[in-house]
Amino acid sequence: MNIDWTDGGRVMFRAGGANLEGAMFGLEPRKATTIVMLHEGLGSIDLWRDLPQRIAAATGLGVFAYSRRGYGKSDPVPLPRPIDYMEREAEDVLPEVLAALDPRHAILLGHSDGASIAALYLGAFQDRRIRGLILMAPHFFTEPAGLRAIAEARTAYESGDLRARLAKYHADVDNAFLGWNDAWLNPDFAAWNIENAIDYVRVPVLAIQGEDDQYGTLAQLKALESRLYAPFDAVVLKGCRHASFIDKPAETLDAVTDFVARLERIEDEAVMIR
Mean pLDDT score of the chain: 96
Helix or strand run (H / E) with residue 114 = helix 113-124
Structural domains of the chain, with CATH: 10-273 (3.40.50.1820)
Tell the burial category of 107 from Cβ atoms under 10 Å away from its Cβ (0-12, 13-18, 19+). Answer: buried
**Coil, helix or strand at residue 16:** coil
Distance, in Å, from the CA atom of 267 to the CA atom of 271, rounded to the nearest integer, reads 6
- Do the bridges between strand 232-237 and strand 34-38 make them parallel or antiparallel, or are there none, so unpaired? unpaired
Predicted local confidence at residue 271, as pLDDT: 54
pTM of this structure: 0.96
The model's pLDDT over 218-229, given as tens digits with 9 standing for 90+, comes to 999 999 999 999
Dihedral sign, Cα of residue 164, residue 170, residue 174, residue 180? negative
Whether 267 has a pLDDT exceeding 80, the answer reads no
Predicted local confidence at residue 270, as pLDDT: 61
The model's pLDDT over 47-86, given as tens digits with 9 standing for 90+, comes to 999 999 999 999 999 999 999 999 999 999 999 999 999 9
CA dihedral 268→207→197→52, nearest 10 degrees, is -70
Mean pLDDT of 248-253: 98
Dihedral sign, Cα of residue 235, residue 238, residue 244, residue 250? negative
Distance, in Å, from the CA atom of 191 to the CA atom of 212, rounded to the nearest integer, reads 23
- What are the CA-CA distances from residue 61 to residues 26, 55, 106, 151, 218 (Å)? 6, 8, 10, 39, 30
Whether 268 has a pLDDT exceeding 80, the answer reads no
The model's pLDDT over 142-166, given as tens digits with 9 standing for 90+, comes to 999 999 999 999 999 999 999 999 9
What are the two backbone dihedrals, phi and then psi, of residue 139, each rounded to the nearest 5 degrees? -115, 125
Whether 273 has a pLDDT exceeding 50, the answer reads no
Instruction: Judge whether 181 and 156 are in contact, CB under 8 Å.
Output: no
190-207: burial string, b at 16+ Cβ within 10 Å, e else? eebebeebbebbebbbbb
Instruction: Judge whether 109 and 189 are in contact, CB under 8 Å.
Output: no
Backbone dihedral region for residue 49 (phi beyond 0: left; psi -120 to 50: alpha; all else: beta): left
The model's pLDDT over 9-35, given as tens digits with 9 standing for 90+, comes to 999 999 999 999 999 999 999 999 999
C-alpha of 106 from chain center: 14
The model's pLDDT over 160-191, given as tens digits with 9 standing for 90+, comes to 999 999 999 999 999 999 999 999 999 999 99
**Coil, helix or strand at residue 12:** strand
Q: What is the DSSP letter of 92?
A: I
- Do the bridges between strand 62-66 and strand 18-25 make them parallel or antiparallel, or are there none, so unpaired? antiparallel
